[in-house]
Amino acid sequence: MSLLARPLRAVVCTVLVLSGCVTAGPAAADEPACGHGRALRYVVTFDRGTPEATARSQITGACGATTVYYPQIAVAVATSGDSGFGERIGLDRAFSAQASRLAAQRATDTVKPQPARAVLPATDPAKVPDADLSARQWDMRMINAGKAHAFTDGSRDVVVGVLDSGIDPDHPDLAQALDRDDSAGCLTGAPDRSTAAWAPTTSVHGTHVAGIIAAADDGHGVTGVAPGVRVASVKVIDDRGYADPEAAVCGLMWAASRHLRLTNSSYFVNPWTLSCIRGNDRGVVHEALARAVEYSTAAGTLNVAAATNEAVDLTPSARSGSPGAGSGCEALPAGLRDVVAVSAVGSDRVKAGYSSYGLGVIDVTAPGGETGECVLSTVPGGYAPLCGTSMAAPHVTGVLALLASKDREARPRQLRRTLDRGAMPMPCPADYDLTGDGTQDAYCAGYEEFNGFYGHGMVDALAAVAPRGRPDPAR
């Protein structure tokens, strides 16, 4: 699942997007005879420190072609039309989300052409409604965003990479915030700076996320958590809703190379229907993303990610299957160390039923909404409500952008510690029976200051930027 928005709850599409064919000359005596099928993309991990020439040579020798190599983390993106490429390069080192989906479709006899999603029409700024919609932004009031703007609305020196499906460059609430120079498309695994590569084509998701972070405070439409900062469109979700590992690695590495202070990942990388550990392929994906996150963090970029809408317990040490013991699932990138993982609550401040959770995984929580009262934000052509952890994560990213604006020298771990200290603690609910059938729908482990539902608590924009932290509520 890539897009984490509701009420149209995201599901994994069953469409395989394939590129052209790979051709090769006659094989030498000591080289394998390469197949000539449709080219599939692979993410390939090498031993750290592997020179680029060595990596390219190994990929070529396995009947592949190198798209890009990231020497900082020894991860490559390759294509091959040979079905044996993975085995030749090593199944413990190479993984193709495209091949995995194709195999799953063949196993269930579902391989058939699927209709493409409708292409979004271009936004005409003059036709975007200009009414003030701030009264409908219950989510911003919940985190004290408006009160925080009395101290700062953010600095244009702070750029947030929105790793998503693209940001509408013509939306009047985002046009001034959009940083085109730092925008790029990453669908092939290599950054492409052309506008066509990073602009949205079929999905409103990225534009919605960007609006939560940085929609202009101009008395029209909606206002973001940090309307004074800028956002870069880093497209990692394709037109079918897939966020493949090579695209995510590219997005993280691009953000680091451009010295972006923050990224927001409102998706999870996974070609399967559930983000659950399974075999060597999961190990390759985890390793590639973990290296990219580790590198970007060291380079000064703090990464925020949605916990997913699968309603599963992501507690890392819980594998027994007993109540409260977790599901053996891992959300990537949210489950990685150094990533700020965000769960979602509804307007009642209770964990949304769809939100995944997990002690030691969830860092903080934020408004994501529930059916009937979702989060209003920008979409191409206007404004619309969406629900999901996708909406919760950018609230946190926006608060961090305010923090980064306040302290220009703060490193990722310092920003994270300040965010956690400023969060409003939220205890586990005494009763979490959402359906009223007498059965708990999820089990919250931990205590008020830190638990599996809410982490350190609800993010608070005012506490982040007020000179003395959160004001005394008695005053």
* Structural domain spans, the chain: 40-107, 127-431+441-465
Pick the CATH number of 40-107 from 1.20.1050, 3.40.50, 1.10.3230, 3.30.70: 3.30.70
pLDDT given at position 168:
98
Mean pLDDT of successive 10-residue stretches along the chain, which has 475 residues: 46 30 42 85 98 98 98 98 96 94 78 74 96 98 97 97 98 98 98 98 98 98 98 97 96 98 94 56 88 98 97 72 58 94 98 97 98 96 98 98 96 97 97 95 96 98 83 45
- Measured between alpha carbons, how far is 202 from 382 in angstroms, rounded to an integer? 15
Could you give the residue numbers annotated as active site? Answer: 164, 205, 390
Q: With left for phi above 0 and alpha for psi between -120 and 50, is residue 106 left, alpha or beta?
A: alpha
CA pair distance 39, 58, nearest whole angstrom: 17
Are 241 and 3 in contact by the 8 Å Cβ rule? The answer is: yes
* Closest listed residue to residue 9, CA positions, set 386, 270, 395, 392: 386
Cα angle: 144, vertex 145, 149; to 5 degrees: 120
From 211, 207, 303, 213, select the one nearest 254 (Cα to Cα). Answer: 303
For residue 233, CA distances in Å to 185, 264, 456 come to 8, 10, 29
Owner of token pair 């396995």:
62
Integer Cα distance of 391 and 377 in angstroms: 9
CA–CA separation, 400 vs 472, rounded Å?
22
The answer for residues whose C-beta is within 8 angstroms of residue 73's C-beta and 6 or more apart is 48, 249, 253, 288, 291, 292, 294, 295
Residue 103 pLDDT = 85
Q: In sequence order, what are the residues at sequence separation of 6 or more whose Cβ sits closer than 8 angstroms to the Cβ of residue 246?
A: 41, 42, 43, 67, 77, 97, 188, 189
How many Å apart are CA 335 and CA 301, to the nearest integer? 17
pLDDT for 151: 95
pLDDT at 166: 98
What CA–CA distances, in Å, run from 257 to 161, 292, 340, 361, 408? 12, 11, 20, 27, 18
In this predicted structure, what is the pLDDT of residue 117? 82
Polymer length of the chain: 475
pLDDT value at residue 35: 86
Name the CATH topology of 127-431+441-465: Rossmann fold (3.40.50)
Residue 109: per-residue pLDDT:
66
3 state DSSP class of 224:
coil
pLDDT at 110: 60
For position 115, what pLDDT does the model report? 65
Neighbour count for residue 441 (Cβ, 10 Å)? 12
Cα gap 397→247, rounded to integer Å: 20
**What DSSP line would sit under 258-302, residue for residue?**
TT-SEEEE-S---SSSS-B--HHHHHHHHHHHHHHHHHHHHTT-E
pLDDT at residue 32, as a whole number: 67
Q: Which residues of 251-267 are buried (b: 16+ CB within 10 A; e: fewer)?
A: bbbbbbbbebbbbbbbb
